[in-house]
Structure 1
Amino acid sequence: MIRMQRLIPTGDPARPVEFTEDAQPVPAPDEALIRVEAFAPNRGETFLLERPEPGLMPGKDVAGLVVQAAADGSGPRVGTRVVGHPPRGGWAEYAAVPTHSLAELPDSLSAVDAAALPLAGITALRLLRTAGSVTGRRMLVTGASGGVGHYVTELAAAAGAEVTVVTATPSRAERLRALGAATAVHAVAGARGPFDVVLESTGGADLPVALSKLAAGGTLIWFGQASRTPATLDFFDLLSGPEGAVIRHFHYAGPNAGPNAGPNAGPTYGRDLATLVRLVHNGRLHPEIGRTADWSKTAETLVDLRERRIRGKAVLTTGVVS
């Protein structure tokens, strides 16, 4: 049995993970074994670490090298550089990743930049796919300082949307303007609507305020609760608000979010990952990485990510470079 290093939860919010020795994963027939060079934690994962369930193995955004091809013949060959979105277990030296959730990397794209793409990038692509054509439409993006917000802003602006972002600080507002935002405000109440589309990810008191900013017939897509505070909607306020407004709940792995949308569509990510890689390679999408560190600094990085001290994505490197 081949052994390796893996990060596992501790249950201690001040130091959420620690190293342990574990068996190298044995891939299923449709999985490739990836030697992980870089991985990117997501803020949602930091919340799971506060009260980890037994057997939790975090890690859904990885980049590295294929060291064992899938036994069923699908996916990339040994020696191929890839980005992947495994269902679990990516914070380790090796990860088994379904081949339908891998995309090959060009030489122009580093493992660090690639690792910043999967969850945030796939979410951004699928949010915009759910919103429909955004060309010429006014869009409001709350919680825009995170990885999803950066990708959505750049993609929507490039598609011709007039994007207003909500972000906490002047420096983050400046960066989002550079990515194409037309307007940046520091509170949802300060956004000057009406908006055709609202992408809402903070929940709490912000959601009803964001809803009130919709134009008649507009759509609010709710995809997160970063405030960690439940939202309360007053039915009478809703009736007196924008006529014909639509509220949609969104999850990036939902059956109607992916490129093969439909009631029987599964959570496959390879096509979206390939799209993201192509956009970065062509200079049309720019991963926003607020911190890169050795994975020995993962615990500290997770705390800073949870407490919103990192702009955009954080990426940890294992010290292995192909």
Structure 2
Amino acid sequence: MKALLPTGDPEKLVHFQERPEPAPQPDEAVIAVEAFSVNRGEMFLLMRPKEGLLPGKDIAGRVVVAAADGSGPAVGTRVVAHPPKAGWAERATVRTSSIAELPDEVSFETAAALPLAGLTAIRLLRTAGSIVGKRILITGASGGVGHYFVELAHASGAEVTAVSGSAERGERLTALGAAEVVHDVADATGRYDIVLESVGAESAPQALAKLRKRGQFIWFGQASREPATFSFFGFFAGPESATVRHFHYADSDEPDGVDLATLVRLVHTDRLHPEIGRAEDWSLTSAILTDLRERRIRGKAVLRVGQ
């Protein structure tokens, strides 16, 4: 079968190679991939690929081999799934605990945009706790996570300020429910109950300074790839006794399949609207990764697997 694998060349990150057919474990199903989405984290890994790297975490398609242990969906079922790797291929194996069934009304392209970004957003909400009436600041809001989080947090009763690098990206965040969109974290007004930081470098201490006393600072990314420095004494200027928490989306007590099913239900009932900035044939994956690196794509990028 065909699969996309790293080249080691920063100008063309992936290329097609023949791979063996998947050999599932008893609790795994084989999915014929119809569409997948790409993430900035995967792009960074591909720029300096480790030996054996098999990219691909967000896929949608049909089950072609059901799990031998009887768990999971039957052959022919439309599904969305979150494999740990090797999803950029014609077929992929996925544990049934990381699969959710897909109604006919939700397209494969829409579903493929859900897993990593959607799981991150829904688990950020869970980590933040009760947010009704809370003021929330989120940096790096122009990507998939930011779009999902803003819409879900607004629907949950929060007042969200989103930091976005451009006016065009900010318009969409406003449409999804952001109370305010600013282009620099320094321009955010007032104090916030919760700050979600995903940029790093200078953005992190600036965002921390916006936190109220005993507020919650949740650090969920470092898109700039540059370290951040905090001053202990900076806390006395406002966020005194604040909680600083590291977040990783995979650290969850809920199986991926359960949260994926929630995301699918929200999409199906018109309460969550994935932002797909580009949808192309998978032959253009390397070009899409370059556009993602250069921030030329708003929201998610989805690739359709050619038949």
TM over 0.5: yes
Match of 1:131 among 128, 141, 146: 128
SS of residue in 2 equivalent to 1:49: helix
Counterpart of 2:38 in structure 1 is 41
**More moved, 230-239 vs 36-45:** 230-239
SS of residue in 1 equivalent to 2:213: strand
Counterpart of 2:63 in structure 1 is 66
CA shift, 1:179, in A, is 0.2
Counterpart of 2:257 in structure 1 is 270
Q: Percent identity?
A: 65
Structure 2: segments with no counterpart, 5+ residues: none
Cα distance in 1 for residues equivalent to 2:240 and 2:221 = 24
2:73 maps to 1:76: yes
Q: Deviations over 1:233-289 (max 9, x none)?
A: 1122234432221110000011xx343xxxxxxxx3000000000000000000000
Residue type matched to 1:34 in 2? I
Counterpart of 1:110 in structure 2 is 107
Contact 1:203–1:225, Cα closer than 8 Å, also in 2: yes
Q: Deviations over 1:183-225 (max 9, x none)?
A: 0000000001200001110011000000000011110100000
Counterpart of 2:302 in structure 1 is 315
Contact 1:69–1:75, Cα closer than 8 Å, also in 2: yes
Q: Deviations over 1:129-183 (max 9, x none)?
A: 0000111000001000000000000000000100000001111111100000000
Q: Deviations over 1:279-311 (max 9, x none)?
A: 000000000000000000000001111221100
Counterpart of 1:295 in structure 2 is 282
Q: Which ranges of 4 or more aligned residues in structure 1 deviate by more than 2 Å?
A: 238-241
Contact 2:150–2:177, Cα closer than 8 Å, also in 1: yes
SS of residue in 2 equivalent to 1:168: coil
Cα distance in 2 for residues equivalent to 1:125 and 1:297 = 30
2:72 maps to 1:85: no
Cα distance in 1 for residues equivalent to 2:13 and 2:190 = 41
Cα distance in 2 for residues equivalent to 1:113 and 1:258 = 26
Match of 1:305 among 269, 292, 301: 292
Cα distance in 2 for residues equivalent to 1:258 and 1:155 = 20
Structure 1: segments with no counterpart, 5+ residues: 260-267
Q: Deviations over 1:44-79 (max 9, x none)?
A: 000001110000000000000000000000000000
Contact 1:31–1:71, Cα closer than 8 Å, also in 2: yes
Counterpart of 2:198 in structure 1 is 201
Cα distance in 2 for residues equivalent to 1:235 and 1:52 = 36
Contact 1:252–1:258, Cα closer than 8 Å, also in 2: no
2:10 maps to 1:23: no
Residue type matched to 2:199 in 1? T
Cα distance in 1 for residues equivalent to 2:253 and 2:205 = 27
Contact 2:220–2:247, Cα closer than 8 Å, also in 1: yes
**How well do the aligned residues superpose, as a CA RMSD in angstroms?**
0.8
TM-score normalised by structure 2 residue count: 0.99
Cα distance in 2 for residues equivalent to 1:276 and 1:169 = 27
TM-score normalised by structure 1 residue count: 0.94
2:94 maps to 1:97: yes
SS of residue in 1 equivalent to 2:120: helix
Cα distance in 2 for residues equivalent to 1:175 and 1:281 = 20
Cα distance in 2 for residues equivalent to 1:93 and 1:296 = 12
2:161 maps to 1:164: yes
**More moved, 68-77 vs 303-312:** 303-312
CA shift, 1:13, in A, is 1.1
Counterpart of 1:236 in structure 2 is 233
Match of 1:181 among 178, 184, 191: 178
